[in-house]
Structure 1
Amino acid sequence: MQSRSDTLTGMSAHETHPPLHLDSFEAPRTPAAVAALSLATQYHSPAILNHVVRSWLWAEAFAVIEGRQDIDHELLYVSAVLHDIGLAPEFDNVFRSYEEAGGHVAVALTRGAGWDERRGTRALEVIVRHNWPSVDPAVDVEGYLLEIATGLDISGARSDALPEPFLREVLEAHPRLDLATEFGSGVVDQAARKPHTAAHRLVEGGVVRKLEQNPLG
């Protein structure tokens, strides 16, 4: 489903894109997308909810500036909105990583919304891969976009890649609030209880410091 406005579609990497604005992107109105946002709103704090919405917006913006084509925008939206749902106590898994637990929540939600097994598995893959050190866009473009988008929102990676006015507009509409404290404590807790998961790598890599020093605020 094409969630981006028509003026932003069909562009090559060598074409100049129009200025990015918050209203350049429209969330899908499909049953899966509506249900994903409803679930995230119910179980996330305002800070984490704003984080997952910003992650979707950053991912779509990166797709525009990089001229990425053939994106499943509904899949990207659902995966972005649910990518941290495994941090919610109600969906925390005693053994599996929080991103894998969240991916299985996405499988269940999308199956109920009518997605087939293959596409539901893609949501699981995208959510799991957002915590990889890097994702090859030739293998998984949605996973790649979510990985670099969350990298921007958590650690400030590639903060100069998107136009500053667009960054400010998104941050004003969806402020960071207490994200550094909430996300940092959540990942530290996951790493302590599940040292075999990506959370441990994130903590060892200084995610708490990166959150505090993020140029986005």
Structure 2
Amino acid sequence: MRFADIVIPDTPAARGALEVATAYCSPALLNHSVRAYLWAAAYAAARDIAFDAELLYVASMMHDIGLVKEFDSHTVPYEEAGGHVAWVFAAGAGWPVERRMRASEVVIRHMWDKVDVEQDPEGHLLELSTGLDISGRRPEDWPAELRAEVLERYPRLGIAPEFTACIRDQAARKPDSIAGDFVRGGVAERIAANALDR
């Protein structure tokens, strides 16, 4: 698997989602969002997991949008806020209600410990890819050459300290959230030890 083998959807919704992420996310968070899709699509291709590329791409661009100040919510966890943004974006893109709901679900589920690939392949792939990119989980599941190529094209740009600050802020303000559980469970240490930053 090489970078050139990864299929990136070229649809109005995919281009629009990238435009939104570019407008609102920091450069580090934007590159993280792009890498989240690339890791997910590469993992799926290597294991013959069928998935909806446009849906996964849109969800990848939106999955951390709830961390940015314009969409941060004081009432719901950031992944739920991001799920709402994804639903609204998908409505604007003309997606039917069921597909809007899927976009929202995939964004929300990226924070779950595990997502069943049979029930939700896109959620499964995004949960795995963000686990790799943020906390360095299971890097051996992606070829070293591919990891190097993706990181060269979309460098990390200090995502580790930036994301750590964001997740700690979320945990402090929303202690009952999954972010709160992550912080109490030592996510900052796992982020700091991520082999992708070596």
TM-score (norm 2): 0.97
**Structure 2: segments with no counterpart, 5+ residues:** none
Which residue in the other structure is 1:106 paired with? 86
Which residue in the other structure is 1:57 paired with? 38
Which residue in the other structure is 2:109 paired with? 129
Q: Distance in 2 between matches of 1:120 and 1:40?
A: 18
Alignment equivalent of 1:195, drawn from 168, 175, 178: 175
Q: Distance in 2 between matches of 1:67 and 1:148?
A: 15
Per-residue Cα deviation, 1:90-120 (whole angstroms, up to 9, x for no partner): 0001111101101111111111111011000
Q: Structure 1 runs of 4+ off > 2 angstroms?
A: none
The structure having more radius of gyration, on CA atoms, is 1
Look up the equivalent residue of 2:4 and give its one-letter code. D
Q: Distance in 2 between matches of 1:74 and 1:171?
A: 22
Show the 5 A alignment for 1:1-217: 20-69=1-50, 71-217=51-197
TM-score (norm 1): 0.89
**The residue matched to 2:119 in structure 1 has which SS?**
coil
Q: Distance in 1 between matches of 2:7 and 2:61?
A: 14
Aligned residues of 2:3 and 2:150 also touching (Cα < 8 A): yes
Aligned residues of 2:64 and 2:82 also touching (Cα < 8 A): yes
Look up the equivalent residue of 2:54 and give its one-letter code. E
Per-residue Cα deviation, 1:121-156 (whole angstroms, up to 9, x for no partner): 001100100000111111111100000000000111
**The residue matched to 1:167 in structure 2 has which SS?**
helix
Two-structure CA RMSD over aligned residues (Å): 0.9
Q: Distance in 1 between matches of 2:3 and 2:35?
A: 10
Q: Distance in 1 between matches of 2:157 and 2:184?
A: 24
1:32, distance to aligned residue in structure 2 (A): 1.3
Per-residue Cα deviation, 1:40-62 (whole angstroms, up to 9, x for no partner): 00111111111010010000011
1:27, distance to aligned residue in structure 2 (A): 2.3
Higher helix share: 2
Q: Distance in 2 between matches of 1:52 and 1:110?
A: 17
